Structure 1
Amino acid sequence: MPLPQGTTTAYQPARWRWFLSRALVIVLVLTGVMLMVLNRSAVRVGDGLTSAALDGVAPVLSAMRAPFEWVKAASGEVQSYFFVHSRNQALEADAVRLKEIESHNRTLMAENRRLKQLLGIVEPEQDVVGAARIVGSTGGSYVRSAIILRGARDGVAKGQPVRDADGLVGQVIDVGYASARILLLTDLASRIPVRVEESNRTAIASGLNEKQIALQFLSPGEPLKAGDRLVTSGDGGTFPPGIPVAIITQPRGPEPKARPLANPGGLDFVLVLRPFVPEAFKNPEATSRLQAVMPEHAGGEAIAAPPFPVPDKPLPGVQPAPEQPASQPTPDKAGSAKTAPATPAAAKPGTPKTPAGQAAPAQ
Structure 2
Amino acid sequence: MRDTRESRLLLVLLVAVAFALITVDIRGGQESPVDGARQAAAAVFGPVENGVAAAVDPIGNAIGAVRDSGERHNRIAALEKENAALKAELGSDDRNRNRLRELDSLLKTAGAGQYGIKGAQVIAIGSAQGFSWTVTIDVGARDGIQRDMTVLNGAGLVGRVTTVGPSTSTVLLANDPDFTVGTRMEKTDELGFATGQGDRPLLVQLLNGKAKVKPGDRLVTFGSAGDRPFVPGVPVGEIIRVDPMGGGLTRNVYVRPYVGFSKLDIVGVVVQAPRSDPRDTVLPQKPKPAPTVTVTVTAKPPAEGEQAQGEKAEQPLRNQAQDQRAGQDQAQDQQAGQDQAQDPVPDQAQNQEQNPDDQGDATP
Question: TM-score if structure 1 supplies the norm length?
Answer: 0.41
Q: Normalising by structure 2, what TM-score? A: 0.41
Q: Greater helix share, 1 or 2?
A: 2
